[in-house]
Amino acid sequence: MKSLIILVSYHHNNTQKIAEVIAKGINAEIKTPQQINLEELNQYDIVGFGSGIYFWKHHKDLLELAEKLPQQINKKAFIFSTSANTENAPKFHSLLREKLQLKGYTIVDEFNCAGFNSWGPLKLVGGTKKDRPNSDDLKHAEEFALKLKQST
């Protein structure tokens, strides 16, 4: 199984920590949207799309890339993120999920966990979700990768 992860993680590299664990589990390369050559995507059996959540959705570079993707037939994909609020993860994922589905991707699974947030005024109080992702989150990411591997 040839796997690729397309990642944007800039606030505290929270999502990068998760991406690295998943990448290790499924033996995936990690690239940024800027490093993607659209034609090369055909060589991958599964593509993961992940970023922090910024204003209720994935990073705009990931969403813009999803719009440019060539049409696929049943290509496997997974979505992941880190965010301050984890209860709304399915909603946060919906825009990227819809864009990928429109391009013919089948979303095999999704992952979200908390990530340290010190954006804007939160900085004044030391931020929220300190020390996340933590070792439990990384363990869950490892289990997620194992499930992906078994299902593909």
End-to-end CA distance of the chain: 8
Q: Select 10 or 24, whichever has its Cβ closest to ligand FMN.
A: 10
Query: Which one among 26, 52, 78, 111 touches ligand FMN, defined by CB under 6 A?
Result: 52
Q: Select 3 or 14, whichever has its Cβ closest to ligand FMN.
A: 14
Classified as helix, coil or strand, 71 is: coil
Q: Which residues contact 28 (CB under 8 A, 6 or more apart)?
A: 3, 4, 5, 22, 48
Query: Which one among 4, 9, 30, 144 touches ligand FMN, defined by CB under 6 A?
Result: 9
Q: Check binding of 119 to ligand FMN (CB under 6 A).
A: yes
Scanning residues 80 to 109, which ones bind ligand FMN (CB under 6 A)?
82-85
From the number of C-beta atoms within 10 Å of its C-beta (0-12, 13-18, 19+), residue 8 rates as: buried
Q: How far is the CB of 140 from ligand FMN (least distance, A)?
A: 15
Q: Which residues contact 35 (CB under 8 A, 6 or more apart)?
A: none
Q: Which residues bind ligand FMN (CB under 6 A)?
A: 9-16, 52-56, 82-85, 115-117, 119
